[in-house]
Structure 1
Amino acid sequence: MSLGAIVEAVIACRDVGASAAFHARAFGLDVLADDGKEALLGVEGVDTGRIRLVPGADAPDPQLWDVGPRLLGMYSRDLARTTRLIDEAGGRSREIVTYPYGAASLTEAVALGADGVWWTLPQAGAGHRPSPALERDPGRLHGELHTAVIVPRDHDAALAFFTAGGGLKVLFDGEMSGPPFDRMTGMPADASLRLSFLVSADQAPARLEIMSFTGVDAADLSDRPLGLRRVVFAADDPVAMAAELERHGGERLGELLLRGPAGLEIQLTGGA
């Protein structure tokens, strides 16, 4: 039994309309539904990796390393174009860098978007993880939502929650430091970050990452009422999965809704 694809990431917004406009302009996402209160964005015809925008309360923007549900990720075929679009839409992108990643290398940028949501933007290329949006349209600049990232206070406890409780597999777990990562994240030169990249058995999009930092002054913003608040995971047996996550420390908020590490709300739905 395992968590599956991320069907939706739920973002609490200062202004739902303004946030929808940002995500459409910066990432080319389609507005799939809008009832005047909430908006659902994604790639038409792709059932996973969507973003739901809901009203939230105002709050200052966080640092990348502050504790809480902190980042979302999306593939780009052209990072220079992507960062330009983000900046033109009102975001703030950081430098594009290339760094060793396992036996290969990865080119990536990080940007601050609407409502204090940070974005991780890896370059799509040979060997990137499955992305239905990119695979069906060779001319598309961005994929659907690629990953959701939490920054917990206790990295190992969060890892155990999602592996032992959620059944996810660790694809990568390592520490990163040095000039490429300082420039990419803005962390101090003597700081480092640990990244754990978790996937379901079939590596269904989107996926979960756990990131933690040492050598930084991090605030605990796990209850921040703005930005990434909830992730909706597919599960073959949502009721059994909810019980398993509760057994591994999740706080039950509803029949299929729990609070997990870093304050992330986890909602379960049938397999996607």
Structure 2
Amino acid sequence: MTIQRMDNVGIVVEDLPAAVAFFLELGLELEGEAPVGGPAVDRLVGLDGVRCDLAVVRTPDGHGRLELMKFHSPAATAGDPDAPVNALGIRRVMFAVEDIEDVLARLRAHGAEPMGELVRYEDDYRLCYVRGPGGIILALAEKLD
């Protein structure tokens, strides 16, 4: 086998503290924060003069991680924070949650807004898409018993 695991998904954000607070409210745990930069980082990512603050948040089971990055140099390029879910590229991250209505209420306090309706999918799940800080799209899934 060539792949051992998926280590993390990187998300570039404008407001790192707001993004961290959003994901902590969702139930992820802060694994660490650090500034990054220097020649090795420049060579790795193919940019010059990288200065970036990052925070890694992980799921409670320890298997899923997001690397949230705020670039100071070079400045982040603008994407479309209002892009629809069918835009090309990575568009959303899905999380399994226990009480979807409680999670939605807590995330709304951090500026999240549902993109559509909270729906019941067959007899298996309740699902909702939410847009969070900087246009980040989350899908929330509550397994029904």
Q: TM-score, normalised by structure 1?
A: 0.44
Cross-structure match for 1:248: 110
Question: What amino acid is the match of 1:197?
Answer: V
Deviation at 1:148, TM superposition (A): 2.0
Aligned pairs for 1:142-157 (under 5 A) are 142-157=3-18
Deviation at 1:184, TM superposition (A): 0.6
Aligned: 1:161 with 2:22: yes
Question: What amino acid is the match of 1:209?
Answer: E
Question: What amino acid is the match of 1:194?
Answer: D
Q: Alignment partner for residue 211 of structure 1, among 49, 61, 69?
A: 69
Deviations 1:78-106 (A, max 9, x none): xxxxxxxxxxxxxxxxxxxxxxxxxxxxx
Instruction: Give the conservation status (yes or no) of the 8 Å contact 1:150–1:262.
Output: no
Deviation at 1:264, TM superposition (A): 1.7
Kindly, what percent of the aligned residue pairs are identical?
33
Deviation at 1:248, TM superposition (A): 1.8
Give SS of 1:198's match. Answer: strand
Deviations 1:190-232 (A, max 9, x none): x3111111012221x3222201111213222034521011111
Give SS of 1:201's match. Answer: coil
Question: What amino acid is the match of 2:140?
Answer: L
Aligned: 1:201 with 2:51: no
Cross-structure match for 2:78: 220
Q: Which range moves more in the overlay, 245-254 or 227-236?
A: 245-254
Q: Alignment partner for residue 192 of structure 1, among 19, 29, 51?
A: 51
Deviation at 1:188, TM superposition (A): 1.5
Q: TM-score, normalised by structure 2?
A: 0.79
Structure 1 residue runs of 5 or longer lacking an equivalent are 1-139
Aligned pairs for 1:250-269 (under 5 A) are 250-253=112-115, 254-255=117-118, 256-269=128-141
| CA distance in 1: counterparts of 2:9 and 2:133, whole angstroms | 13
Cross-structure match for 1:126: none
Structure 2 residue runs of 5 or longer lacking an equivalent are 119-127
Cross-structure match for 1:141: 2
Normalized per residue, the structure richer in strand is: 1
Aligned pairs for 1:25-104 (under 5 A) are none
Give SS of 2:56's match. Answer: strand
Question: What amino acid is the match of 1:180?
Answer: A
Higher relative contact order (CA closer than 8 Å, sequence separation 6+): 1
Give SS of 2:94's match. Answer: strand
